């Protein structure tokens, strides 16, 4: 079986969709930093769809990896002429494979940061996009301030011509464009952060100001940072995905991507040197993204947190298992209807009840096999951004908060590192040791976890929240997850 490449495209099974455009005619227009499964199932897919219409051939993607784990992605994609297979997994078991050809190159920044900087400084590059995860923006979870004490940031400020970080790479490229009299590129965040474009603007400008105040002023005045809401469940590729693609469709792909059928991208129309005509392939290009992003962050993302810790403690390991359990579904819909949704402004063109029910259907897709471990990872970057704002707004308006407080309690119980059967839980978080130490005090000093002001600010001082949190935590210890949920659903 030949490996996936330009040369083997014409020999693939007819059930596998392949690029209908001549890839030799595609030229770079976008540099994307953080090429993971989500980018390949989302932004790159939309560009590939445009190219299949004979459009956007001057918007090819050059991927960039910054983290140590990105080296393997670079090697795999290079061996496959930067082609990969996107496999849509339908709930009925149907597989829909499609080869994506929108990526032209992949640069691993630690090997040659100069090549990355010069690629972004090239006037042909008009957009630099990002999927660097919530933690990649280097800001304090409570204050929101840029962390200038980060050792790699300090290195980049001291040695701007040899950057290690995304901030150093991007700002050095912008500095060169400014010095050469070139227009800047648009910096487009595609991460799950409220006001992701605004967050990116503040962080990159803060870094630039520490380097050169005049450069920071130019970036602040000239560089667009459009906000966006992005959505598609994209689990980590498993060995079985690679085997199934080869066995059923005869495609040898070392790193395919699997995803659900649903996809959404709401994008603010704020670009300096043009953009692809994304609206022609289903992207909602709007003037104001905020209502859509809050809907997604506070309903979908926060609901993932609502199901993953309780689900793990109860013995489940996949999201679809949890969302086929009526007790958990009642809890999730209760959170969405009575706590998350009341904090939302009207969302143009969206029926919120239908959106909530669609979320349950998506979570319950048995073919995706989205692991609870993935949803539980990096909680310290997620709960403060997705759930804490809901709690604060509901406290301010006198609304219900007992389900949201219960989610925080379930995280604290999860962070103890053992489920209800005594099986070990592997906590994956940048603050793992701190969180587990606090969770170790749950039985002796039960308020310790929420007294962490770095994550929760002054929430522990709000008596209504504190009481709801402590009640649920005690119930989780004494009665377990299911009995606790039965009480919460009945309230």
pLDDT at position 102, please?
A: 98
Strand partners, 257: 86
Beta-carbon contacts of 387 under 8 Å, excluding residues fewer than 6 positions away, are 298, 302, 305, 404, 407, 408
83 within 8 A of 44, measured Cβ to Cβ: no
Q: Give residue 331's Cα distance to chain centre.
A: 24
Q: Give residue 53's Cα distance to chain centre.
A: 28
Interatomic CA distance for residues 151 and 361, integer angstroms? 44
175 within 8 A of 123, measured Cβ to Cβ: no
Model confidence at 436, pLDDT cuts 50, 70, 90, reads very high
Average pLDDT in the 50-63 region?
98
Least confident of 194-198, 264-268, 270-274, 461-465: 194-198
331 within 8 A of 489, measured Cβ to Cβ: yes
Greatest C-alpha distance within the chain: 67
Pairing of strands 60-65, 186-189: unpaired
pLDDT at position 1, please?
A: 75
Q: What is the dihedral of CA 414, 418, 423, 427, to 10 degrees?
A: 60
Instruction: Centre a 10 Å sphere on the Cβ of residue 117 and count the other Cβ atoms it contains.
Output: 23
pLDDT at 368 exceeding the cut of 80: yes
Interatomic CA distance for residues 289 and 266, integer angstroms? 6
Pairing of strands 264-268, 284-286: parallel
pLDDT at 276 exceeding the cut of 70: yes
pLDDT at 277 exceeding the cut of 70: yes
Cβ burial, residue 69 (10 Å; 0-12/13-18/19+): exposed
pLDDT at position 144, please?
A: 82
pLDDT at position 435, please?
A: 97
pLDDT at 273 exceeding the cut of 80: yes
Least confident of 192-196, 229-233, 316-320: 192-196
What mean pLDDT is reported for the chain? Answer: 96
Interatomic CA distance for residues 331 and 301, integer angstroms? 15
pLDDT at position 142, please?
A: 65
Pairing of strands 186-189, 127-130: parallel
Average pLDDT in the 188-198 region?
92
Please write the tens of the pLDDT for every residue from 15-30.
999 999 999 999 999 9
Interatomic CA distance for residues 404 and 29, integer angstroms? 43
Please write the tens of the pLDDT for every residue from 88-143.
999 999 999 999 999 999 999 999 999 999 999 999 999 999 999 878 999 876 67
Cβ burial, residue 179 (10 Å; 0-12/13-18/19+): exposed
Please write the tens of the pLDDT for every residue from 309-361.
999 999 999 999 999 999 999 999 999 999 999 999 999 989 999 999 999 99
DSSP code string of 124-137:
T--EEEE---GGGG
Please write the tens of the pLDDT for every residue from 452-478.
999 999 999 999 999 999 999 999 999
**Above pLDDT 70, what percent of the chain?**
100
Interatomic CA distance for residues 380 and 431, integer angstroms? 7
395 within 8 A of 401, measured Cβ to Cβ: yes
């Amino acid at each position: 079986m030949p490996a996936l490449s330009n040369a083997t495209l014409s020999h693939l099974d007819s059930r596998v969709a392949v690029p209908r455009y001549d890839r030799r005619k595609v030229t770079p227009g976008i540099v994307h930093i953080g090429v993971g499964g989500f980018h390949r199932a989302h932004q790159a897919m939309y560009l590939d769809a445009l190219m299949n219409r004979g459009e956007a051939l001057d918007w090819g993607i050059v991927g960039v990896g910054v983290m140590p784990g990105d080296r393997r992605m670079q090697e795999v994609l290079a061996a496959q002429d930067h082609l990969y297979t996107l496999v849509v997994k339908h709930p009925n078991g149907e597989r829909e494979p499609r080869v994506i050809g929108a990526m032209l190159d992949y640069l691993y920044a630690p090997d040659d940061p100069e090549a990355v900087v010069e690629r972004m400084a090239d006037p042909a590059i008009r957009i630099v996009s990002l999927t660097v995860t919530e933690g990649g923006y280097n800001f304090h979870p409570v204050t929101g301030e840029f962390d200038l004490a980060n050792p790699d940031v300090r290195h980049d400020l001291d040695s701007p011509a040899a950057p290690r970080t995304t901030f150093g790479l991007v700002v050095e490229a912008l500095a060169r464009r400014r010095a050469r009299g070139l227009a800047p590129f648009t910096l487009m965040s595609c991460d799950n952060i409220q006001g992701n474009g605004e967050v990116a603007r503040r962080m990159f400008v803060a870094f630039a100001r520490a380097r050169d105040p005049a450069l920071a002023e130019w970036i602040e005045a000239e560089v667009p940072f459009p906000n966006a809401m992005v959505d598609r469940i994209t689990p980590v590729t498993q060995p079985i995905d690679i085997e199934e693609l080869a066995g059923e469709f005869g495609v040898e792909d070392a790193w395919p991507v699997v995803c659900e059928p649903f996809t959404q991208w709401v994008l603010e129309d704020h670009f300096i040197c043009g953009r692809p005509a994304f609206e022609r392939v289903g992207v909602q290009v709007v003037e104001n993204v905020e209502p859509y992003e809050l809907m997604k962050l506070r309903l979908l993302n926060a609901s993932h947190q609502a199901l993953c810790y309780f689900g793990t403690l109860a013995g489940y390991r996949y999201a679809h298992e949890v969302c086929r359990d009526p007790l958990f579904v009642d809890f999730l819909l209760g959170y969405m209807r009575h706590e998350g949704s009341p904090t939302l402004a009207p969302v143009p063109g969206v029926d919120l009840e239908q959106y909530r029910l669609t979320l349950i259907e998506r979570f319950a897709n048995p073919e995706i096999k989205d692991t609870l471990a993935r949803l539980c990872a990096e909680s310290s970057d997620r709960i403060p951004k997705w759930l804490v704002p809901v709690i604060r707004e509901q406290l301010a308006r006198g609304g219900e908060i007992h389900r949201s407080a219960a989610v925080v309690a379930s995280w604290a119980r999860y962070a103890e590192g053992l489920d209800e059967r005594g099986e070990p839980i592997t906590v994956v978080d940048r603050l793992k040791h701190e969180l587990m130490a606090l969770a170790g005090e749950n039985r002796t000093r039960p308020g310790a976890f929420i007294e962490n002001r770095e994550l929760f600010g002054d929430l522990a001082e709000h008596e209504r929240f504190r009481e709801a949190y402590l009640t649920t935590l005690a119930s989780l210890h004494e009665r377990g997850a299911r009995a606790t949920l039965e009480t919460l659903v009945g309230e």
